[in-house]
Amino acid sequence: MSQRQVLQVFEQYQKARTQFVQMVAELATRPQNIETLQNAGVMSLLRPLLLDVVPTIQQTAALALGRLANYNDDLAEAVVKGNILPQLVYSLAEQNRFYKKAAAFVLRAVGKHSPQLAQAIVDCGALDTLVICLEDFDPGVKEAAAWALGYIARHNAELSQAVVDAGAIPLLVLCIQEPEIALKRVAASALSDIAKHSPELAQTVVDAGAIAHLAQMILNPDAKLKRQILSALSQIAKHSVDLAEMVVEAEIFPAVLTCLKDKDEYVKKNASTLIREIAKHTPELSQLIVNTGGVAAVIDCIGSCKGNIKLPGIMMLGYVAAHSENLAMAVIISKGVPQLSVCLSEEPEDHIKAAAAWALGQIGRHTPEHARAVAVTNTLPVLLSLYMSTESSEDLQMKSKKAIKNILQKCTYLPALEPFLYDAPPNILKYVVGQFSKVLPHDSKARRLFVTSGGLKRIQEIKAEPGSLLQEYINSINNCYPEEIVRYYSPGYSDILLQRVDSYQPFTN
């Protein structure tokens, strides 16, 4: 045996290993192959290859593992149970950048499925090495590490706290400032995932000076980056007034409004979410948004998109209108009500309808003027039909009922109220009749119109329990009219008249 022949054996073995790992990594990209691979015991075969002497084989093995773990949580759990993680974490600190990338990918794939799996990663001490990877020279490694950290942090507050304790935030903020768009994107998304859980976590993100850098990039042309930036800002702003004010102070305001005109739907959605999160805190912040023309931009945005993208915008209008009557008036003069009523009647989804109904209720509940503005767009019948419809969800019914109540209690616009006399259920009829009883004693024209349009007749037909609120209202309406008219319109009066005719004895002589 010559030396060459001996070496040939080793060479063949190495080639076979390489080929196997590459094939497995290739096969793992297709979902239909995964089950077969799993049944063939791919996990136990890949594990020793992670410790192979050849670096390329190690990397490819890690890549294959990551792809498998990405597929479902059973496989991810298998990775955890196979004690592969400590190995990965150990080599994450030691190996070259390709391996680091692959290992971070495996951690990300495992951690994304459930809090337990993410906790398992944290227990292996992966966070510290991932944070060290954030300081790496190669942007690809940074990206992979930031991604993994974001996926770990997104599950719950404890995991995010663990990520924060590992010191990731300052480095993530540095990553935002890097020139690579992909890295910026991933870092912003990780910050958003960290900030979303609690005010304290959001405060730590703010303390690292993230807001200024995030706010700078709102006008970036890259749509995906914009999505993440806006989402991060809204996750920061949603917790408290102070944080929202910090976000506003970064002078995001005219710039965010341009995002509402973006081509990308999610940019629009995240921008309106950000505005909503800011507006919901205080009347002052809402006022600021109104003064910069944000309400008009949001209303235009609602008009230009459909489906779930509308939802945050609709809620924002509701929040702004709920704060004070002046702000509600601002929403009305920005032509918000017609847009909302269009949403109410044309959206197929119940939860969006419910949000629109709620927003309309918030707009209309302040003064008769507001209620009138809502009523003239003919929304009340739509709300009523939504309330009465058996197809609409419970939440939608509740919301529309509340909205009807809120609006009716302030409405003095009688033409809009009149249809309600005929087709409203008793619990709503109460409010309608109440409004009539308040208006009619003071308005002679309305009194006349009420008789000629048959309202008075309808009032007489209502069966009310004596002593109830409804009866009181009816009585006060009846008091506005002469007795003959009331009697004339009350049911059964014709019979009484006929009886009198029957019993009348003409005076004959």
Question: Sign of the C-alpha dihedral, residues 51, 56, 62, 64?
Answer: negative
Verify binding: residue 261, other proteins, rule CB under 8 A.
Answer: yes
For residue 275, the minimal CB distance to other proteins (Å) is 13
Q: What DSSP state is assigned to residue 228?
A: H
How many residues are recorded in the chain?
A: 509
- Taking the least distance from each CB to other proteins, the nearer of 127 and 260 is 260
**What gap in Å lies between CA 331 and CA 326, rounded to an integer?**
9
For residue 267, the minimal CB distance to other proteins (Å) is 12
How many residues line the site for other proteins (CB under 8 A)? 19
Cα dihedral angle (172, 177, 183, 186), rounded to 10 degrees? 50
**Residue 91 is encoded by which pair of tokens?**
């080599």
260, 356, 375, 464: which one binds other proteins (CB under 8 A)? 260
Q: How many CA atoms lie within 13 A of 507 on its CB side?
A: 0
34, 103, 107, 295: which one binds other proteins (CB under 8 A)? 295
Applying CB under 8 A, the span of 90-98, 148-156, 209-217, 287-295 interacting with other proteins comes to 287-295
Verify binding: residue 258, other proteins, rule CB under 8 A.
Answer: yes
For residue 261, the minimal CB distance to other proteins (Å) is 4
23, 51, 333, 485: which one binds other proteins (CB under 8 A)? 333
55, 167, 209, 293: which one binds other proteins (CB under 8 A)? 293
330, 356, 363, 373: which one binds other proteins (CB under 8 A)? 330
- Taking the least distance from each CB to other proteins, the nearer of 236 and 252 is 252
Verify binding: residue 324, other proteins, rule CB under 8 A.
Answer: no
Which alpha helices (DSSP H) does 154-222 contain, by range?
157-165, 168-176, 181-195, 199-207, 210-216
Applying CB under 8 A, the span of 49-57, 104-112, 328-336, 404-412 interacting with other proteins comes to 328-336
Site string for other proteins, 334-373 (x = CB under 8 A): x---------------------------------------
Is-contact 344 386, C-beta < 8 A? yes
- Taking the least distance from each CB to other proteins, the nearer of 247 and 295 is 295
Verify binding: residue 292, other proteins, rule CB under 8 A.
Answer: yes
Per-residue CA distances from 319 to 108, 358, 359 (Å): 37, 10, 7
Give the type of residue at 221.
P
**What gap in Å lies between CA 260 and CA 270, rounded to an integer?**
9
**What gap in Å lies between CA 310 and CA 328, rounded to an integer?**
19
Applying CB under 8 A, the span of 68-76, 235-243, 290-298, 465-473 interacting with other proteins comes to 290-298
Verify binding: residue 291, other proteins, rule CB under 8 A.
Answer: yes
- Taking the least distance from each CB to other proteins, the nearer of 86 and 254 is 254
For residue 317, the minimal CB distance to other proteins (Å) is 13
Provide, for the chain, the percentages of residues in helix, strand and coil under a 3-state DSSP scheme, each rounded to the nearest 5.
Answer: 80, 0, 20
Q: How many CB atoms lie within 10 A of CB 19?
A: 10
Residue 413's contacts (CB-CB under 8 Å, 6 or more residues apart) are: 368, 371, 372, 375, 376
For residue 335, the minimal CB distance to other proteins (Å) is 8
Applying CB under 8 A, the span of 70-78, 329-337, 452-460, 471-479 interacting with other proteins comes to 329-337
**What gap in Å lies between CA 417 and CA 430, rounded to an integer?**
12
**What gap in Å lies between CA 47 and CA 300, rounded to an integer?**
56
For residue 369, the minimal CB distance to other proteins (Å) is 11
**Residue 341 is encoded by which pair of tokens?**
């009523």
For residue 269, the minimal CB distance to other proteins (Å) is 17
Is-contact 360 407, C-beta < 8 A? yes
Site string for other proteins, 4-33 (x = CB under 8 A): ------------------------------
For residue 320, the minimal CB distance to other proteins (Å) is 12
Is-contact 346 306, C-beta < 8 A? no
Q: Residues in the site for other proteins, rule: CB under 8 A?
A: 257-258, 260-261, 263, 290-297, 300, 326, 329-330, 333-334
